[in-house]
């Protein structure tokens, strides 16, 4: 809930049109279920049946079901069924590599999206071990009440919270931040002016997960996934992909030659807009990066064990008031602030120095 309260303090920067919560490294009732994939989504009454039938057919076994204890709030029309369901893998995949399991989970999620999207009977936001997603349209604070996120005993070490739907297109659940794909999650502040060329590039990769794009920000998550998982680059190269250095600046880097090739080959993925991206990796590292001109706000601060990455400092004050404010970091245009898993420490990686 404190994430949502922090969002409330930053109200000038969002329109309160929706809430997206993505929780990772879960505690509470999910603590013992870490190796099983969790499917998060919303269904209509008919959708649940279709979902159940489909999952059964695919060989998944339902292990555990969590549903939020909905409190009726004026202005929010509850949908039929909000859920986080824990499944066991189909027998055919139990002994497969994790990479293959990841592909299976993603394909299942996409298939359900395909089935449920036309009549909006099924929405699936994520299907992955140890990740839970909640999304709804409306005021974030009211939605926090609505979902009763305080009462449910939901616990997580990594939480992404975003207080708006996408700005530029129709308000729609699949367009709501944060976005997720195979362990990578991110949300963005700012408009993505290079959306179309980026989308076309990603869709041309032949990877089934690069689809959807109801929001121009979804591509940031997919670029992260493509850079780190598909191409196998270390996380900091995400910065080099979305905001490449000038040729003259690359010369100072020991990996300058590789950077030049990366910049050329991944040219369409340059984000080029006023954007700040906050995201996490499957290992639990969290990061914040700015566009190449640093046109958006962003601050990182906290104490050992608890760090927060926010658009505005007032949000940070709300969540971690007892911190050394002098140590707050405002990542600039060359910076990538990375918080190591378990929030042990925050490091700023400078692109100029590599």
Partner 1 sequence: MEPASGIRLDHNHKLSLREFPYIIRWRDDRCKRCGKCTAVCPVKAIEPTVKVQRMVQSEGAVPTPAAVRKATHIVEQVLDMERYCTGCGSCTLVCPNEAIEPEYNFQHKFYHYKNRGGDPYKRGGRRNDPAVSTLDRLKFTRISMLTDPALDAGRHEFRIRTLLGRILPPEDLPLKMVNGKLVVDKDSGKFIPPVREIFPIMIGSMSIGALSPPAWEGFAMGVAYLNEVEGIPVVMASGEGGMPPKLLRSRYLKYFIIQIASGYFGWDEIIHALPHMVEDPAAIEIKYGQGAKPGDGGLLMAQKVLKLIAGIRGVPQFIDLASPPTHQTKYSIEEAVAKMIQSMSMAWGFRVPVYPKISGTKTARAVLNNLARNPYAAALSIDGEDGGTGAAYNVSMDKMGHPIASNIRDCYLDLVKQGKQSELPIIASGGVAKKGNLAANAAALIMLGASAVSIGKYIMQAATDCLGDEYNRCNLCNTGKCPRGITTQDPKLYRRLDPDKVAERVVETFKAADVELKKIFAPMGRSTELPIGMSDGLGIDDKAMADRLEINYAC
Binding site for partner 1 (CB under 8 A): 167-168, 190-191, 193-197, 200-201, 203-206, 230-234, 237, 243-244, 246-247, 254-255, 257-259, 261-262, 264-268, 270, 272-274, 292-293, 295, 354
For residue 222, the minimal CB distance to partner 1 (Å) is: 14
- Show the tokens assigned to 300: 């990182």
Cβ-based nearer residue to partner 1, 44 or 189: 189
Residue 122 in contact with residue 43, Cβ under 8 Å? yes
Q: What angle in degrees, to the nearest 10, is found between the helix axes of 218-225 and 195-203?
A: 40
For residue 139, the minimal CB distance to partner 1 (Å) is: 21
- Show the tokens assigned to 82: 């909000």
Cβ-based nearer residue to partner 1, 104 or 266: 266
Cβ-based nearer residue to partner 1, 36 or 201: 201
Residue 15 in contact with residue 115, Cβ under 8 Å? no
Residue with tokens 């400092």: 313
Distance CA 218, CA 187 (A): 8
Cβ-based nearer residue to partner 1, 293 or 304: 293
For residue 350, the minimal CB distance to partner 1 (Å) is: 14
Residue 216 DSSP SS3:
coil
For residue 247, the minimal CB distance to partner 1 (Å) is: 7
Which distant-in-sequence residues (6+ apart) come within 8 Å of 25 by Cβ?
Answer: 130, 156, 157, 158, 284
Which distant-in-sequence residues (6+ apart) come within 8 Å of 326 by Cβ?
Answer: none
For residue 224, the minimal CB distance to partner 1 (Å) is: 14
- Show the tokens assigned to 56: 């059964």
For residue 287, the minimal CB distance to partner 1 (Å) is: 16
For residue 200, the minimal CB distance to partner 1 (Å) is: 5
Residue with tokens 């869709």: 203
Distance CA 10, CA 274 (A): 18
Distance CA 277, CA 163 (A): 14
Cβ-based nearer residue to partner 1, 133 or 165: 165
Distance CA 253, CA 237 (A): 12
Cβ-based nearer residue to partner 1, 148 or 274: 274
Cβ-based nearer residue to partner 1, 97 or 353: 353
């Amino acid at each position: 809930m404190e994430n949502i309260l922090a969002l409330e303090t930053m109200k000038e920067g969002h329109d309160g049109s929706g809430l997206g919560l993505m929780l990772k490294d879960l505690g509470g009732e999910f603590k013992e279920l870490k190796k099983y994939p969790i499917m998060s989504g919303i269904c209509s009454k008919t959708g649940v049946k279709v979902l159940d039938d489909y999952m059964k057919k695919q060989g998944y076994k339902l292990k555990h079901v969590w549903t939020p204890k909905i409190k009726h709030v004026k202005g929010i029309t509850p949908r039929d069924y909000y859920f986080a369901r824990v499944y066991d893998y189909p027998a055919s995949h139990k002994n497969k590599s994790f990479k293959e399991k990841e592909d299976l989970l993603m394909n299942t999620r996409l298939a359900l999206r395909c089935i449920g999207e036309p009549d909006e009977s099924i929405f699936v936001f994520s299907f992955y071990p140890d990740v839970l997603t909640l999304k709804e349209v409306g005021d974030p604070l009211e939605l926090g009440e609505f979902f009763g996120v305080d009462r449910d005993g939901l616990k997580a070490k990594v939480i992404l919270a975003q207080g708006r739907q996408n700005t530029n297109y129709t308000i729609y659940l699949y367009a709501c931040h944060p976005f997720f794909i195979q362990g990578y999650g991110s949300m963005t502040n700012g408009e993505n002016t290079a959306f179309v060329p980026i989308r076309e590039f990603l869709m041309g990769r032949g990877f089934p997960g690069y689809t959807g794009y109801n929001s121009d920000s979804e591509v940031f998550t997919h670029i992260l996934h493509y850079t780190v998982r598909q191409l196998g680059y270390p996380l900091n190269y995400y910065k080099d992909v979305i905001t490449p250095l000038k040729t003259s600046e690359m010369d100072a880097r020991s990996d300058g030659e590789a950077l030049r090739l990366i910049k050329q080959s991944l040219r369409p993925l340059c984000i080029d807009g006023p954007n700040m991206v906050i995201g996490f990796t499957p290992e639990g590292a969290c990061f914040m990066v700015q566009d190449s001109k640093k046109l958006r706000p962003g601050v990182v601060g906290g104490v050992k064990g608890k760090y927060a990455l926010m658009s505005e400092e007032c949000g940070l004050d709300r969540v971690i008031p007892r911190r050394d404010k002098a140590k707050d970091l405002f990542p600039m245009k060359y910076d990538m602030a990375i918080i190591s898993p378990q929030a042990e420490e925050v490091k700023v990686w400078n692109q100029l120095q590599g």
